[in-house]
Chain A
Amino acid sequence: MFTTLITLLSHYKRHPGQLAMLLLGLWVASALWSGVQAINASARDSYARAEALFTTGLDRLERRDGQPLTRDDYLRLRRAGLPVSPLLEGTLEAPDGTRLTVIGIEPFTLPGDNAFATAGSTSELAAFLTPPWQTRVAPDTLPALGIADRQAPGDEPRLTDERRLPPLVLAPSLPPDTLVMDIAAASMLLDSGETLSRLVTASNALDEAPPGLVLTRATTLASPGQLTESFHLNLTAMALLALVVGLFIVQAALGLALEQRLTMLRTLRALGVSGRRLVGLLALELLLLGIIGALAGIVSGVWLARLLLPDVAATLGSLYGAGVTAELSLPWHYWVGGVAVTLGGLFLAGAGVLWRAARLSVLGLGQAQAWRAGFRRQLTYMTLAGALVASIGLALWAWLAGQPPGEGLLAGFGLMAALLLASALWLPPLLAALLAGLERLVRRRPLAQWALADLQLQLPRLSLAMMALLIALSANLGVSSMVGGFRLTFLDWLEQRLVADLYLRPPAEQFEEIETWLGERREVAERLPTRRTEATLYEVERNGSTRGLALPTNLYGITPGDALMPSWPLLDTLAGRDAAWQAFRDGEAFINEQLAIGEGLAPGDRLTLGAPQGREQVTVVAVYPDYGNTQGEVLFATAQLASRFGAPPGSIGIVLAPGADEAALGQALTRRFGLGSDSLVDQREVKRIATGIFERTFTITRALSALTLGVAALALLASLLAQARERRRQLAPLWALGVPRSQLVRIQLSQLGAAALVTGALAIPLGIVLALGLVAVINVAAFGWRLPLFLFPGEIALTLATAVAVALLATALPAITLWRTPPRALLAEEANT
């Protein structure tokens, strides 16, 4: 049995290219898949830790007027018997620039058992509470503090401003970049004096907010896991695509390896090796290859994840406010899962090979024509399977059309997958039909006819590589159209939204004073104060029928002035822009696209919102786009938001008069009110930050889609290289008949160039449909915004060129060898067959 296995494997010794291709396919597929899974696993671990943190699950109390709560407020409420606990939260900068969240807690009043769990066991409580206090920190935060795990406990790392943290104690269950310490230590580090960030209380411990305070229920704060679900689904879909493309290579390589070993297999059967044992040994071979490929893939996947994770973490942080560690943390099931997925994929890809080996006829002859007949049958199957997948896709599409917009992310991905798979399955029958048709056209030209017939003969082996190429090309095109289109829309939108030259975030207690002062300055043409608060959306009235809700909703206040109104983008209005703005000034509301899509709202609907003085009713007069936000929002005029909803002051946008000196105003402001340098931001900076966030959001998508295309190119290259020797044998008789080598090379180049061109040409409409699906289905479900479809001819041309270039490159290498081979050698090869 061992001998038989060695005999089977000896094939790869003679054809190391095939082995390389097989392993390459496995490696790439498993690397991309496990890389993305590593990212997802680390992110999930971070979410789980964030959700386990004591602050989640607690209701919050803050002052209605936006001023910070103080220790006296806390004591007053405690003396009144309210079970509140003080919490101090702030950020500090680590020496490497990482922003660390400092959370100061009061363990005696913090609700729940997890308070003590957070502070450590009860025996350590005294050390936690008394000087020099303790800093509880997760091990993966240590690199930011510049220390190694081993020396961490007890170390007192320095911060950028030379101050030291209390001695470290490791607490692996804390979220990344979070420092938890006693409130006394935190208050010294953050220099917050007697003030508090907020008061917290056990969920639903209070029926209503005490006077002057706002109560935010824990249940209204969505968990990071929920928010980012769609983001991770996107990543997983991309990884799955890469896995599928990689498995195409694997199947091509396996098919080829079996093809060339048919004679050997027959010999083995004739020598008495039973069919069952042969299949078993082939399966063993697959297992060996699979384990090697999977291990290599996982190692590279982890490396890839490590490379991409900082970007992913930054994106999740800026888009969803979810803290994700930039350090990988992989549970054991990640490793097992990675190997299992690769092996599963491999056996799926190898199932056909095993099936054929099992049905191997001992006496059959390995004839190319016979093979072709088999391929005909295969084409029929492919057409039928393609039709089946397409009808599944159609069914999904029909189902999605009946769903409210913003639902069915998974079905959306299913639709995309069905589309890709159906197209890929139909590609070989289409190419075969095309070749047959062309063959009829060129009957009079024997060489062209030979070229077409020869291409038909190559098609079985090429088809898988071409299918992979089609999928990768169209996915790449779809993704780049979506990202590019989004980029245009987003930048445009940013331009429209950011009308002020300077943005000022004054301390709440100085807000009025600063606003008045600004109003008296000549440099200031217009002030655009904003406010923000939250309210519960209780009811929606649409066409006379009322629907009850209890949706926590963000309220945002803007100043409808000369600067803002003309440029603020609106998607839909009740009775035109002017009427909408007029109604808006009079106290009606706009809603963002996310809310409109999520709740199925349109201009003209009436909303009932919870307000301090009871409930407020407003009419929706317009819908506006709100990229970069993932949650629903209701927009009011700032003055309305302040008077009706008691929203605390937010930032002030400053529109400068023509020719005003921006720097001088900034200095005057800082001098007069003693503001910190970070409270005044200019518009360019805001745009830079926003664009940065945007770019990071799609870095991963683009990187994965480019990698997938690379994999497909490799697939094509590998399958062509693998059959190069065999091809030479078929070219030799032509040369012997007098066709010059240069022409043979040209024929080969044009054969594959044309096939790739056709594939590329098919990828274009497919890519466009894919882009449409991404912007109209996936994005709406994942982010809540719909984008116009943008097409980029440059990108399309590039896609086509890539396809052809890959094919030509793949042909060129064997062609050059052919060019250099002395004719004698070619004949000798033919004779040896």
Chain B
Amino acid sequence: MSATRLVATGLTLLWLAGCDTERDDAAPGEPAGFAGLGEEAGDFAQAHEGITLRFPEDHAAHPDYRIEWWYLTANLEDDSGEPLGLQWTLFRQAITSPEERPAPTPWAADQLWMAHMAVSRGETHRVAERFARSHSADELDDRDGQAGARAQPFRAWIDHWQLASHIETSDETTGEATEADTFAELELTAHQDDEHGGFGYALTLTAEGPLVLHGLEGFSQKSADGQGSMSSGSMYYSQPFWRVEGEVALDGESRTVSGRGWLDREWSSQLLGAEQRGWDWFSLHLESGHKLMAFQLRGGGADGGDYRSGTWIAPDGEPTALAPDEIDMTPLETRRVAGRDVPTHWRLAIPRAGLDLSIEAPHAERWMDTSVPYWEGEVVARDADSGENRGVGYLEMTGY
């Protein structure tokens, strides 16, 4: 599901492609991988097996890595039971390596930020995009830039769009710092004016389960040759257990909503192999209380095939990493969206978990017409044989 974020972050990589001299595995002038996400790590810190994730520190930005995101999707319903989807993503992109960082003079920047927000309901799909710059020294100066992400209390923002904890970190009576987990309860606020009357949301997110580390204790491999420090991969954890409540405004109309949300956190300096051109990424809330994350990177698998990976998450948050051959993913039907053929109906089978799902987007019009365009929308999962409802989730597809 973090795929979308890849896309967007990729935008900045695309910009960088023009000046990156270290790249040697792609045709000249052509960014490596989708949207440049296959760039080699170079002087940047690199995600690798064996890194221990630490919280709350790792909720904040990692400016020494090239790319990073805070990626939230939610499957909601309004009072009348009408389904409603939303996405809010903050992408970070380092525009210089840690060694080449400019002095923190006024306005100088080494980090670019991009954010996407989307609200969808029926055929309606509203999208907005924002950009900002910051200097990684801002945090040391304890100054807030136009965009950023802090760990304690947790806060990730760009302009007036923000995902922030409302848990106090100091005791009101004594003023002493408390050890509260500020990530357990967040407020998401964002609003965008447009010609339809504007859209946005003010939501409360309450964690009903633990954080989930993907791959090997949080290191998520992204291609078959991923061994050692040169491999492509990322640090990747999720909070898939959000209970979401609040208000969503769409075309000037406000609705009270509730539902389930999924937050992905991922950072890396070389996410994709140079030959990988896109991906299909699922995040599902199943009726059984299980969660499923599964993706395929098209190209870059063993023998040039697709590379698959995923995590099967028990209702108590216990993750089981899925190996490439444990996931079966087949597009069943494509739809014409924004002039492209996009597979909006899939068959996803995880024999190990006894799952055989038919996953379909009820509405195909979920194209994100942003700087780097991609498809991101709500899906409904049904049993492939019986057609019984199994759950809801989000699907992200890039490179189409």
**Quick check: which of A119-127, A224-232, A578-586, A817-825 contacts chain B, the rest being far away?**
A119-127
Residues of A within 8 A of B371 (CB): 122
Minimal Cβ-Cβ distance residue in B for A128:
B15
Report Cα–Cα, A78/B161, bound state, in Å. Answer: 10
Residues of A within 8 A of B159 (CB): 78-79, 81
A662 CB–B CB distance under 8 Å: no
Are the CB atoms of B109 and A184 closer together than 8 Å?
A: yes
Minimal Cβ-Cβ distance residue in B for A107:
B131
Report Cα–Cα, A808/B18, bound state, in Å. Answer: 74
B316 CB–A CB distance under 8 Å: no
Q: How large is the interface on A (under 10, 10 to 19, 20 to 34, 35 or more residues)?
A: 20 to 34
Report Cα–Cα, A123/B371, bound state, in Å. Answer: 12
B389 CB–A CB distance under 8 Å: no
B56-77 CB contacts (< 8 Å) to partner A? none
Minimal Cβ-Cβ distance residue in A for B113:
A108
A170-229 CB contacts (< 8 Å) to partner B? 182-184, 187-188, 192-194
CB distance from B144 to the nearest CB of A (A): 7
Encode B139-154 as 1/0 by CB contact (under 8 A) with A.
0000011100000000
Residue from B95, B106, B133 within 8 A of A194 (CB atoms):
B106
Encode B201-242 as 1/0 by CB contact (under 8 A) with A.
000000000000000000000000000000000000000000
B280-324 CB contacts (< 8 Å) to partner A? none
CB distance from A203 to the nearest CB of B (A): 15
CB distance from B378 to the nearest CB of A (A): 27
Encode B364-392 as 1/0 by CB contact (under 8 A) with A.
00000001000000000000000000000
Are the CB atoms of B95 and A126 closer together than 8 Å?
A: yes
Report Cα–Cα, A624/B377, bound state, in Å. Answer: 68
Residues of B within 8 A of A71 (CB): 106-107
Report Cα–Cα, A131/B100, bound state, in Å. Answer: 9
Minimal Cβ-Cβ distance residue in B for A70:
B106
Encode A680-716 as 1/0 by CB contact (under 8 A) with B.
0000000000000000000000000000000000000
B19 CB–A CB distance under 8 Å: yes
Are the CB atoms of A183 and B112 closer together than 8 Å?
A: no
Residue from A80, A109, A122, A187 within 8 A of B15 (CB atoms):
A122
Are the CB atoms of B145 and A126 closer together than 8 Å?
A: no
CB distance from A605 to the nearest CB of B (A): 41
A77-93 CB contacts (< 8 Å) to partner B? 78-81, 86
Residues of A within 8 A of B146 (CB): 75, 78-79, 109
Contacts A126-B16, A187-B106 given; does A78 touch B95 at CB 8 Å: no
A156 CB–B CB distance under 8 Å: no
Minimal Cβ-Cβ distance residue in B for A108:
B131
CB distance from B40 to the nearest CB of A (A): 16
Encode A94-122 as 1/0 by CB contact (under 8 A) with B.
00000000001010110000000000001
Are the CB atoms of B131 and A109 closer together than 8 Å?
A: yes
Are the CB atoms of B144 and A129 closer together than 8 Å?
A: no
Report Cα–Cα, A756/B243, bound state, in Å. Answer: 102
Contacts A75-B146, A106-B107, A108-B131 given; does A126 touch B19 at CB 8 Å: yes
Report Cα–Cα, A78/B131, bound state, in Å. Answer: 11
CB distance from B133 to the nearest CB of A (A): 6
Minimal Cβ-Cβ distance residue in A for B160:
A81
CB distance from A132 to the nearest CB of B (A): 9
B132 CB–A CB distance under 8 Å: yes
Contacts A75-B146, A184-B105 given; does A106 touch B133 at CB 8 Å: yes
Are the CB atoms of A79 and B160 closer together than 8 Å?
A: yes
Residues of B within 8 A of A130 (CB): 95-96, 100, 102, 109-110
B248 CB–A CB distance under 8 Å: no
Are the CB atoms of B106 and A193 closer together than 8 Å?
A: yes
B108 CB–A CB distance under 8 Å: yes
Are the CB atoms of A109 and B132 closer together than 8 Å?
A: yes
Report Cα–Cα, A106/B12, bound state, in Å. Answer: 16
Report Cα–Cα, A130/B94, bound state, in Å. Answer: 11
Contacts A129-B95, A130-B96, A187-B105 given; does A108 touch B15 at CB 8 Å: no
Residue from B14, B105, B145 within 8 A of A122 (CB atoms):
B14
Residues of A within 8 A of B112 (CB): 108, 129
Are the CB atoms of A188 and B105 closer together than 8 Å?
A: yes
Residues of A within 8 A of B95 (CB): 126, 129-130
CB distance from B90 to the nearest CB of A (A): 14
A residues contacting B by CB (< 8 A) are: 71, 75, 78-81, 86, 104, 106, 108-109, 122-127, 129-131, 182-184, 187-188, 192-194
Please name 25 pairs of A and B residues whose Cβ atoms are closer than 8 Å in the assembled complex, sorted by A.
A71-B106, A75-B144, A75-B146, A79-B159, A80-B160, A108-B112, A108-B131, A108-B132, A108-B133, A124-B15, A124-B18, A126-B12, A126-B15, A126-B18, A126-B19, A127-B19, A129-B109, A129-B133, A130-B95, A130-B109, A130-B110, A131-B96, A131-B100, A131-B102, A188-B105
B residues contacting A by CB (< 8 A) are: 11-12, 14-19, 95-96, 100, 102, 105-110, 112, 131-133, 144-146, 157, 159-160, 191, 371
10 other contacts beyond A75-B145, A184-B102, with CB at 8 A cut-off? A78-B132, A79-B157, A81-B191, A104-B107, A108-B112, A125-B15, A130-B109, A131-B96, A182-B107, A183-B107
